[in-house]
């Protein structure tokens, strides 16, 4: 009789689990029990895509389940991000974000099909990256002070390129102009690669980009580095001062990369993913991989990441408002 009763209980438990919602399963110890999708709002091959794949590998190793990247580029990241917002919050669809996620609210406003701070749950900031200000060697300056003096003496003559209106490099140039009182010309391109080509050819006089993007050109003498963002000098460019050292701490753009989920992800799934990813970033192989790629590992908690996103949205909204920037 006792054995029959146990068999009946096990049978009922099996039926209950079979009919359970994904949210219930994600809240149980079984999460993840199937493949997890990571939406990257870019085509394959860029920094955000690379970091998404790196995060997926780390989570797969830690949690014993497949994490695959789903590239949904277009719309200045809004297509992929909207798809994430509309996904079931069951823990099986996650998404990568970068600084465009925090810039778009100020740039696009009501045109966004989602609310950046209400429709998502931050999981973990994976990394950040330093920007470097560079000039073409034909610009007759040796350091940031010389560049600022020239720009002030000849307003409207120095031009910089970016990957488009509202891109990180564009807003870095706008930050510099606002903080230092400069009048410079912004030339938006369709992508970052063309900017670098024209910068190397002298068609634009200066630009901002991540340190890994420009380090080799700087070391080869094809570009001159004037200053880097961030609290410390970049390991790849130890002789280049920070903007803080140059008395312009307000030029502080540090692109951030992180993992987010649709609002409402089960707390157990959120905790499991966040803990596993933080452990890998802070003390695992992933930390060394990030540094070798030129990124600064972060590994923040969900609360810390949410606070950082809030601060970044407020900052870029104000820069965009003050600069009168409108989307293309």
Model pLDDT, residue 24: 43
Do residues 209 and 132 make contact, with C-beta atoms less than 8 angstroms apart? yes
- pTM score of the predicted model: 0.86
CA distances to 96, 176, 244 from 226, rounded to whole Å, are 31, 12, 12
What pLDDT score does 281 carry? 96
pLDDT of residue 283: 84
Helices of type H across the chain: 2-18, 22-27, 47-63, 78-85, 99-108, 144-153, 168-180, 192-201, 211-219, 267-283, 285-292, 302-323
β-partners of residue 71 are: 40
For β-strands 120-128 and 256-262, DSSP reports them as antiparallel
Predicted local distance difference test score (pLDDT) of residue 46: 86
Give the pLDDT of residue 29: 66
pLDDT grade, residue 310 (50/70/90)? very high
Q: What is the mean pLDDT of the chain?
A: 90
Task: Judge contact between 258 and 307, C-beta under 8 A.
Answer: no
Segment 100-154, tens digit of pLDDT = 999 999 999 999 999 999 999 999 999 999 999 999 999 999 999 999 999 999 9
**Per-residue pLDDT at 15:** 40
Q: What is the pLDDT, as a whole number, of residue 294?
A: 87
Query: For residue 5, what pLDDT is reported?
Result: 43
In whole angstroms, give the CA distance from residue 132 to residue 229: 6
Tokens standing for residue 29: 């110890």
- Min mean pLDDT across 14-23, 51-60, 80-89 is at 14-23
pLDDT at 207 over 70: yes
Most confident stretch, 28-42, 178-192, 252-266: 252-266
For 184-197, what is each residue's pLDDT tens digit? Answer: 999 999 877 889 99
pLDDT of residue 19: 41
Average the pLDDT over 299-308 and give the result: 98
């Amino acid at each position: 009789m006792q054995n029959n009763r146990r068999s009946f209980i096990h049978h009922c438990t099996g039926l209950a689990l079979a009919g359970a919602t994904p949210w219930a399963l994600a809240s149980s110890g079984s999460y993840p029990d199937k493949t997890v999708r990571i939406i990257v709002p870019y085509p394959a091959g860029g920094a955000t895509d690379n970091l998404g794949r790196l995060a997926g590998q780390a989570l797969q190793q830690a949690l014993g389940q497949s994490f695959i990247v789903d590239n949904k580029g277009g719309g200045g990241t809004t297509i992929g991000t909207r798809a994430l917002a509309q996904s079931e919050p069951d823990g099986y669809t996650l998404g990568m974000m970068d600084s465009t996620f925090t810039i778009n609210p100020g740039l696009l406003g009501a045109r966004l099909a989602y609310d950046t701070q209400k429709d998502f749950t931050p999981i973990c900031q994976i990394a950040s990256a330093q920007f470097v200000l560079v000039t073409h060697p034909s610009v007759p300056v040796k350091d940031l002070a010389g560049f600022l003096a020239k720009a002030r003496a000849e307003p409207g003559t120095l031009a910089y390129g970016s990957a488009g209106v509202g891109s990180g490099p564009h807003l870095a140039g706008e930050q510099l102009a606002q903080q230092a009182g400069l009048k410079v010309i912004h030339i938006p391109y369709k992508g970052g690669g063309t900017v670098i080509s024209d910068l190397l050819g002298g068609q634009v006089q200066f630009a901002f980009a991540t340190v890994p993007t420009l380090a080799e050109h700087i070391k080869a003498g094809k570009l001159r580095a004037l200053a880097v963002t961030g609290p410390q000098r970049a390991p790849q460019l130890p002789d280049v001062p920070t903007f803080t050292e140059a008395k312009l701490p307000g030029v502080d753009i540090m692109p951030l990369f992180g993992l987010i989920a649709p609002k409402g992800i089960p707390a157990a799934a959120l905790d499991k993913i966040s803990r596993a990813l933080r452990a890998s970033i802070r003390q695992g192989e992933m930390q060394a991989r990030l540094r070798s790629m030129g990124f600064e590992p972060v590994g923040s908690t969900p609360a810390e990441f949410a606070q950082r996103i809030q601060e970044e949205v407020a900052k870029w909204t104000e820069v965009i408002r003050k600069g009168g920037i409108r989307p293309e």
